[in-house]
């Protein structure tokens, strides 16, 4: 195991009706003037935004609003939010929504106290200072509610890039699983896929003897397969939604990823797809993951066999472990198809002719230096080959 530090000081309030306590948590964590940041109409239509506002008003905390966050959130709205916060002397950012809204809120929070262009953080500068952030989570997926990460797309060049830093951890996160019961099935499935991807990105490591975190990741994968299937079959099942919501947070707060190298190839390869076609991140990952894993299988057959046996219930083929390894990838593919995810470029709406361009952007775009991948180092040619497996 490698040396590491772990610090996850987010206060989680989990369960039914917890959104009504938002105001008291903002107060507890020192917010005096709030920006409420959100996406489209669903938080308005559901009445959630009103309930959140009411809870702020009950604590006499003033607020301004900025809606309009889109999936694959853009830098344009971030600049707008930074200007608004400075003008209105906002000192606390409250995200009401899913990963896109939270990531956009984090970018604004980092940008307000920063003299330079906030995009610097998305080119590798660590975020050590940001306005305090709170979140009211509406979809189990990105894990941004408990992570120190944010992903934003820059319109100029359509680069989708991530920033990180302890200052980006939310002060508090409100998690009411009931809020996720009304999601369209496609979005629920995208969330399940994203969570599975966060687990695979950590599972695919070159660090030896990390049994504790291996087991934890496997536990969360098993939970997602079981409860994900239940939530798809029975969207109103609160218990399934609750198990998914906690698993989604645990999958990405990094307690199961400490002390080990991680991969993140699938995310990098996917980001090109959602940046170019504006497809849902989860849907992109569903197409990307089996291709990446198949391409990388020979790098560590036993690791792929391990997840196949322990998570997917495959029988170990002791004479031909690579068959078991491949079986596990097939089982993942079947699971993703079963929850309604796309399986190839066509179903995703991607086009073969863009492969070279995407692979180049993935390896060289916006300050990258030619290779990606923490598990297997991949160059542009490799990434092109991976995209071809998805056609």
Q: Which residues bind a copy of itself (CB under 8 A)?
A: 1-16, 18, 177, 208-213, 215-216, 218-220, 222-223, 226-227, 239-240, 242-244, 246-247, 250, 255, 258-259
* Nearest distance from C-beta of residue 162 to a copy of itself, angstroms: 23
Pick 255 or 371: Cβ nearer a copy of itself: 255
CA 217 from chain centre, in angstroms, equals 16
CA nearest to 102, candidates 186, 201, 171, 33 = 171
Q: Rounded to whole angstroms, how far apart are CA atoms 47 and 32? A: 24
* Nearest distance from C-beta of residue 143 to a copy of itself, angstroms: 14
Pick 28 or 360: Cβ nearer a copy of itself: 28
Pick 152 or 192: Cβ nearer a copy of itself: 192
Note whether 107 and 74 are within 8 A (CB). no
Contacts of 115 (CB under 8 A, 6+ apart): none
* Nearest distance from C-beta of residue 222 to a copy of itself, angstroms: 5
Pick 3 or 369: Cβ nearer a copy of itself: 3
Contacts of 94 (CB under 8 A, 6+ apart): 22, 26, 31, 34, 35, 36, 37, 52, 63, 105, 133, 134, 135, 136
* Nearest distance from C-beta of residue 265 to a copy of itself, angstroms: 25
* Nearest distance from C-beta of residue 228 to a copy of itself, angstroms: 11
Secondary structure letter of residue 95 according to DSSP:
E
* Nearest distance from C-beta of residue 239 to a copy of itself, angstroms: 4
Q: Rounded to whole angstroms, how far apart are CA atoms 197 and 252? A: 10
Pick 66 or 231: Cβ nearer a copy of itself: 231
Q: Rounded to whole angstroms, how far apart are CA atoms 352 and 135? A: 38
Pick 177 or 342: Cβ nearer a copy of itself: 177
Q: Rounded to whole angstroms, how far apart are CA atoms 276 and 299? A: 29
- Residue 44, helix vs strand vs coil: helix
Pick 35 or 244: Cβ nearer a copy of itself: 244
**End-to-end CA gap in the chain:** 38
- Residue 285, helix vs strand vs coil: helix
* Nearest distance from C-beta of residue 199 to a copy of itself, angstroms: 12
């Amino acid at each position: 195991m490698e040396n590491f530090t772990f610090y996850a000081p987010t206060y989680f309030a989990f369960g039914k009706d917890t959104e009504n306590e938002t105001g008291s948590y903002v107060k507890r964590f020192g917010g005096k003037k709030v920006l409420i940041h959100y996406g489209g109409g669903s938080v308005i239509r559901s009445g959630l935004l009103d309930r959140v506002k009411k809870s702020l008003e009950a604590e006499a905390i003033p607020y301004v609003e900025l809606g309009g966050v889109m999936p694959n959130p853009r830098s344009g709205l971030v600049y707008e939010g930074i200007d608004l916060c400075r003008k209105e002397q906002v000192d606390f950012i409250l995200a009401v929504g899913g990963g896109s809204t939270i990531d956009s809120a984090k970018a604004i929070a980092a940008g307000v106290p920063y003299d330079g262009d906030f995009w610097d953080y998305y080119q590798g500068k660590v975020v050590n200072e940001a306005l305090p952030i709170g979140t009211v989570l509406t979809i189990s997926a990105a894990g941004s509610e408990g992570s120190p990460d944010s992903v934003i797309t820059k319109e100029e060049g359509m680069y989708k890039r991530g920033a990180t830093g302890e200052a980006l951890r939310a002060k508090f996160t409100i998690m009411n699983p009931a809020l996720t019961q009304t999601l369209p099935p496609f979005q629920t499935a995208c969330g399940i896929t994203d969570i599975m991807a966060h687990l695979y990105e950590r599972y695919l490591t070159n660090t030896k003897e990390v049994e504790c975190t291996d087991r934890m990741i496997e536990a969360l994968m098993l939970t997602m397969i079981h409860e994900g299937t239940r939530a798809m079959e029975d969207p109103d099942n609160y218990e399934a939604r609750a198990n998914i919501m906690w698993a989604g947070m645990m999958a990405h707060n990094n307690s199961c990823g400490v002390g080990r190298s991680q991969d993140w190839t699938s995310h990098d390869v996917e980001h090109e797809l959602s940046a170019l076609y504006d497809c849902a991140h989860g849907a992109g990952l569903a197409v990307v993951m089996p291709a990446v894993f198949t391409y990388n299988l020979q790098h560590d057959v036993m690791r792929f066999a391990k997840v196949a046996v322990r998570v997917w219930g495959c029988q170990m083929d002791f004479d031909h472990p690579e068959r078991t390894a491949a079986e596990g990838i097939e089982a993942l593919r079947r699971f993703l198809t079963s929850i309604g995810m796309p399986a190839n470029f066509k179903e995703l709406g991607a086009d073969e002719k863009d492969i070279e361009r995407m692979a180049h952007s993935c390896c060289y775009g916006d300050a990258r230096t030619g290779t990606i991948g923490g598990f297997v180092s991949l160059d542009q040619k490799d990434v092109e080959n991976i995209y071809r497996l998805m056609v």
